[in-house]
Amino acid sequence: MSLVWTMVAKRLGLGLLTLVIISLIIFSATEMLPGDLAKAILGQSATEETVAAFRRELGLDLPAHTRYLNWLLGALQGDFGTSFASRRPISELIGMRLGNTLALALYAAAIAVPLSLALGILAALFRNTVFDRSTNAFALTSISFPEFFVAYILIFVLAQSGVFPSMARIDATTSFGDYLYRAFLPALTLTLVVTAHMMRMTRAAIINLLASPYIEMARLKGMKPMRVILIHALPNALAPIITVVALNLAYLITGVVLVEVVFVYPGLGQLMVDSVSKRDIPVVQAVSLIFATAYVLLNLLADVLSTLSNPRLIHRK
């Protein structure tokens, strides 16, 4: 297990370095936006004295490297500053929105992961049959469409008929049952987008193992095909499956921007788009850093779990 802890320490170090570089890119990208932020907020009729005073209030008169260090140190302490648009603490704006985004990601994952594993196992079991070809065709079709197109198709089919609402109106008073009903279309959209990756990886990983000698031995003993796959093939195919599942879970958290905008879902993606339209730079920076952190952490989790699932990576000798 010492190799695992060494790997975790190395991945954490690389992850922290990656986040520092990403934070620098985020800050630099927002700094290079054209126009004067103070004038954009105050309007063109603001006087030079008012603009200068507002720049001092926002700290925009400080050098760029000083503002970056102040922002990074504050982010490490959970303080992202104050919103330019609403003048409220950014942590307060992000609080409930982050919970909504995580809830939507878990909702989609609860549907997508079991469905993908089941379809991948069945496609490997009935390889080159009509079921295998149809599931692969459906997966390739769903993965080829962008998220907003899939969302609009679902709205046209399921929302126009009145089966599900086209707008996910979620607030603090929404019950669990109402949440499952109102957020079903956004969750289904994300499910259709990520299922293809996980299903095809599960199918490919199992098929690669079906020609192994121990699988042939299990078949010669008279074991049923499903039992051979579930007991002998699937445990040894967990490493690539876990990796692709973790990467898609990262996508469910970081790639929800378009889906949340289409369904007006009150999550971090919707907050980010609203903040971009209002030129609320601190909120955009905070949300971008949260997305990057979630992606890096889930990549680390994928590395650790895939290593633990393969004893040959733990005991190299």
- Is 62's pLDDT higher than 80? no
Spatial distance between the Cα atoms of 284 and 27, rounded to a whole number of angstroms? 10
Of 43, 23, 19, give the one whose Cα is nearest residue 31: 23
pLDDT exceeds cutoff 80 at 115: yes
Condensed to tens digits (0 to 9), the pLDDT of residues 223-237 reads 787 787 777 777 777
Q: At what angle do helices 184-209 and 147-154 cross, to 10 degrees?
A: 120
Is residue 224 within a helix (H) or strand (E), and if so which, with residue range? none
For residue 317, pLDDT over 60 is answered with no
Tokens of 307: 């290593």
pLDDT digits (tens, 9 = 90+) for 64-102: 788 888 888 888 887 888 887 777 888 888 887 888 888
In the prediction, which pLDDT does 203 show?
A: 85
- pLDDT band (50, 70, 90) for residue 40: low
Cα gap 213→158, rounded to integer Å: 48
CATH fit for domain 90-314, picks 1.10.490.10, 3.30.60.50, 3.30.200.20, 1.10.3720.10: 1.10.3720.10
Q: Where are the domains of the chain?
A: 2-76, 90-314
CA–CA distance, 311 with 242 (Å, rounded to integer) = 15
pLDDT at 37: 67
What's the whole-model pTM score? 0.81
- For 122-131, give one letter per residue: b (16+ CB within 10 A) or e: bbbbeeeeee
